[in-house]
Structure 1
Amino acid sequence: MPKTPDELFRFLQSLGIETKTTEHPPLFTVADSQALRGTISGAHTKNLFLKDKKDNFFLLTVEEEAVVDLKSIHHVIGAASRVSFGKPEALMELLGVIPGAVSAFGLINDEAHRVRFFLDATLAESETVNCHPLSNEATTTIRSADLQRFAEATGHPVTILKLDS
């Protein structure tokens, strides 16, 4: 059974990580979330849940305007082949979220450590980052360093991803 947002917040608290969460109507796309600009400060994310032909899974958390070339990103992330988007069933099984709610916080549900996590260098260098807290009906602001500490605490090493501009 996937963790709830409350369980996520308790885990973050146990790590001494402070966050601020803003509730809002469900958001399914970056375009939807851009309507909230001005009310939620910090870097905003786009999340790609990808798989290769050998069923290796990858979560790329990138700055919302970043361009990710799906035809060549497999070379950068060490995939066995070109990648495609993971199916909603795999997303729920591994990260415990539905499409539209994907975020680095889903790593808390990947107890088997099947998903490799990549964080965009732009986000890694930002002071704060915004992620859905296992639900697309809220946005949680967290310090970038704390997001990385969270990922490590779930057993997911953070690989910094440098994307070509």
Structure 2
Amino acid sequence: MPATEDDLFAFLKELGIVTSTVRHPALFTVADSQALRGDIDGGHTKNLFLKDKKDNVFLVTVGEEASVDLKQIHHRIGASGRVSFGNPELLMELLGVVPGSVTVFGLINDTAGRVKLVLDAALMEHEVINVHPLTNEATTSISRKDLIEFIHATGHQPTILKVSA
């Protein structure tokens, strides 16, 4: 059973990480997010759940307005050939979320460490980063430093590089 939002917040609290969360209607697109989330400072994310020909899985997290060349990204992230979007079943299996709720916080559910996390360098210039807390009905603000601490606590090593155009 995947971690719930409450499990996530308990894990963050256990790590001593302070966040703030704003509730809003479900957000499925960047346009929805910009229109419905309200005024929340910091960098807002867009997440790409990708897999390559050898079933390597990648979570690429970029700024919400970033442009990503999906035909070329495999060169940057170290994939074996071109990538495609992972299916909803694999997304649920590895990150414990449904499409529309993809988030770096889903790494709490990837206990086997199958997902390679790639954070866009431009996004990581923000002091505060905003992500879904395993649901697209809320936005959680976390400091860049604390986000990295969370990622390490899940057993993942983030790769920070320029993936957006």
One fold, TM greater than 0.5? Answer: yes
Question: Cα deviations across residues 83-105 of structure 1 (Å, max 9, x unaligned)?
Answer: 00000000000000000000100
Distance 1:11 1:43 in 2: 23
Alignment of 1:4-83 (within 5 A): 4-36=4-36, 38-83=38-83
Distance change >3 Å, CA 79–CA 34, structure 1 → 2: same
TM-score by length of 2: 0.97
Show the counterpart of 1:132: 132
SS at match of 1:35: helix
Return 29-38 or 110-119, whichever deviates more.
29-38
Counterpart code for 1:137: E
Counterpart code for 2:104: A
Return 118-127 or 57-66, whichever deviates more.
118-127
1:163 Cα deviation after fit = 2.8
Q: Which runs of 5+ in 1 are unaligned?
A: none
Distance change >3 Å, CA 164–CA 4, structure 1 → 2: closer
Show the counterpart of 2:101: 101
Counterpart code for 1:8: L
Counterpart code for 2:64: E
Show the counterpart of 1:114: 114
Show the counterpart of 1:143: 143
Over the matched positions of the two proteins, sequence identity in percent amounts to: 68
Check the 8 A contact 1:101/1:135 in 2, yes or no. Answer: yes
Check the 8 A contact 2:73/2:163 in 1, yes or no. Answer: no
SS at match of 2:130: strand
Counterpart code for 1:103: T
Q: Which runs of 5+ in 2 are unaligned?
A: none
The alignment yields a C-alpha RMSD, in angstroms, of 1.0
Check the 8 A contact 1:124/1:145 in 2, yes or no. Answer: no
TM-score by length of 1: 0.97
Check the 8 A contact 2:62/2:164 in 1, yes or no. Answer: no
